[in-house]
Amino acid sequence: MTDASTSSATEGRRAAASAARDKKTSERNPWPALWALVIGFFMILVDTTIVSVANPAIKAALDPATNNLDNVVWVTSAYLLAYAVPLLVTGRLGDRFGPKNIYLIGLTVFTLASLWCGFSTTLGMLVAARAVQGIGAALLAPQTMAIITRTFPPNRRGAAMGLWGATAGVATLVGPLAGGLLVDGFGWEWIFFINIPVGIIGFVLAWIFVPKLETHAHTFDIPGVLLSGAALFLIVFGLQEGETYDWGVIWGPITVWSMIVTGIVLLVLFIWLQSRTKREPLVPLVLFRDRNFSVSNIGISVVGFAVTSMSLPLMFFIQLARGLTPTESALLLIPMAVLTGVLSPLSGRLLDRVDARVILVPGLVLYAASLVWYSALMNASTPIWMFLLPSALMGVASAGMWGPLATTANRNLPVQLAGAGSGIYNTTRTVGSVIGSAAIAAFMQSRLNANLPGADTASGGFGGGQLPPQVVDGFSQAMAQTLLLPAAAMVVAIVAVLFLRPTRASANTEWKASADAQ
């Protein structure tokens, strides 16, 4: 037998073995693996919602002397920025080295960084630890969606994403409640220590139940990673610190606006280079030929912006203007969390049967309406129980956003591009969250200066208890006005999803054929 025929026979056996492994994976029950994976996803979401409740306590403990709210917001922004920058490549890492392996590494990094966060003694140390947490989350998050895409056929992904959305709903309840109880009972440090046992349990279950999937060779566009990272950093830092520097000079010739403009130019250059590269691009622009993938990415970026930004002014108002404890503040979110958790699986199953717009448009509209409702209630005379009403409306709305957007984005993706698609989707969501966190901090400080002139230079600081009566009205108006920013942003998502193509789950045979073609 010739060398050529021997090589051909070897390649044939490898292809047959790969197809057999894919077929075996597609035929096994994927639900135990999904239940194991959502523990890591749950921990990321709980960590975010816990921090939003604990922000006033963190500021009082680590940054008590200033009235500038931008400093403590970096506890969230550093995490989101470190999360967003590597997402484009971490999805590919899952394709190259196996999503299970990268998931377990990310979970380990996130858990150990949580320990560092809890032992932080300065705000700078906490921000650094949160950045490492973000890197762990970036390794972990894309693998969950990629495994769903590769193990669930299209006509069952709606139900799988329904569980994903329900996990978000439960996390929005457990996070604030656990955060409030831990902050009130033990101190803000314990909002991070609680991640340690959850991370260990999640690691063990993922090790046991998540299957090893076929890997694919990829090249990694390191210059693209550096270029996109620099662009995001410049944009976010400019937005975050703009109010601090009065939108002027930061250092020497460097101004806030020059950083933002430079970041935008680098981002445009990155996209142009991706379209021209002869090697494998970091962002396969071919994915955006699918209109639903493109529109869903626009939608999730706006949702990330709104969901991340709304919690800051709301929690500062509830705790500082109305004097509620972190635990009491968290109790006001129970209707949202319960309704999201109950309705998300139902909307997921419904999505497997109807056009996605039937669920998405009402969900997005109701979310915007709940934000406007919150804003209208944010004054010193509103009975506290009334804040339960927009919370309930927000829960109904959330069930119609998270799962449906994720399912619509990934339904038509080729299996071999699952990691890239998941990385892009998570990147756009997180970039929206980063920009939302930065923008809300700047807008919040601006509204404070407008409603409480001289607040940024007054003695004392925001944090550590209820505000004096003479400043409550001005502070409340500033927080209410700030909350209208994410409400206005939701209009973009509503308009975008109107352009979705009618969706219908593909047949199992189509999905299996795609798997066999890996």
Reported as a single tens digit per residue, the pLDDT across 58-97 is 888 887 766 666 677 788 778 877 887 787 788 778 777 8
Residue 502 backbone zone (phi > 0: left; psi -120 to 50: alpha; other: beta): beta
Distance from C-alpha of 317 to C-alpha of 328, rounded to nearest angstrom: 13
What pLDDT does residue 43 have? Answer: 86
Q: Which domains does the chain have, with CATH numbers?
A: 29-216 (1.20.1250.20), 222-276 (no CATH), 286-503 (1.20.1250.20)
Q: What pLDDT does 256 receive?
A: 86
Helix, strand or coil for residue 325? Answer: coil
Amino acid at residue number 211: P
Q: What is the mean pLDDT of the chain?
A: 81
- Can you give the pLDDT at residue 67? 62
At residue 448, φ and ψ (nearest 5 deg) are -65, -45
Q: So what's the pLDDT on residue 359? A: 93
Tell me what pLDDT residue 130 has.
Answer: 94
Over the range 236-275, which residues count as b (16 or more CB within 10 Å of their CB) and which as e? bbbbbbbbbeeeeebeeeebbeebbebbeebbeebbebbe
The pLDDT tens digits for 259-296 are 989 999 998 998 888 888 777 777 788 888 889 999 99
- pLDDT of amino acid 499: 93
Are residues 134 and 79 in contact, defined by beta-carbon separation less than 8 angstroms? Answer: yes
Q: Can you spell out the DSSP letters for 381-423?
A: TS-GGGGHHHHHHHHHHHHTTHHHHHHHHHTT--GGGHHHHHH
Each residue of 406-438: pLDDT tens digit? 888 877 777 667 667 877 887 788 778 878 877
- Count of residues in the chain: 518
Residue-wise DSSP of 150-187: HHS-HHHHHHHHHHHHHHHHHHHHHHHHHHHHHHHHT-
Residues of the chain below pLDDT 50: 1, 3-8, 10-12, 14-15, 18-19, 22, 25-26, 459-460, 505-518
DSSP letters for 245-291:
TTTSEEETTEEHHHHHHHHHHHHHHHHHHHHH-SS--SS-GGGGGSH
3-state secondary structure of 142: helix
* Predicted pLDDT of residue 6: 47
The C-alpha atoms of residue 210 and residue 504 are separated, in whole angstroms, by: 28
- Answer for the pair 398, 49: CB distance below 8 angstroms, yes or no: no
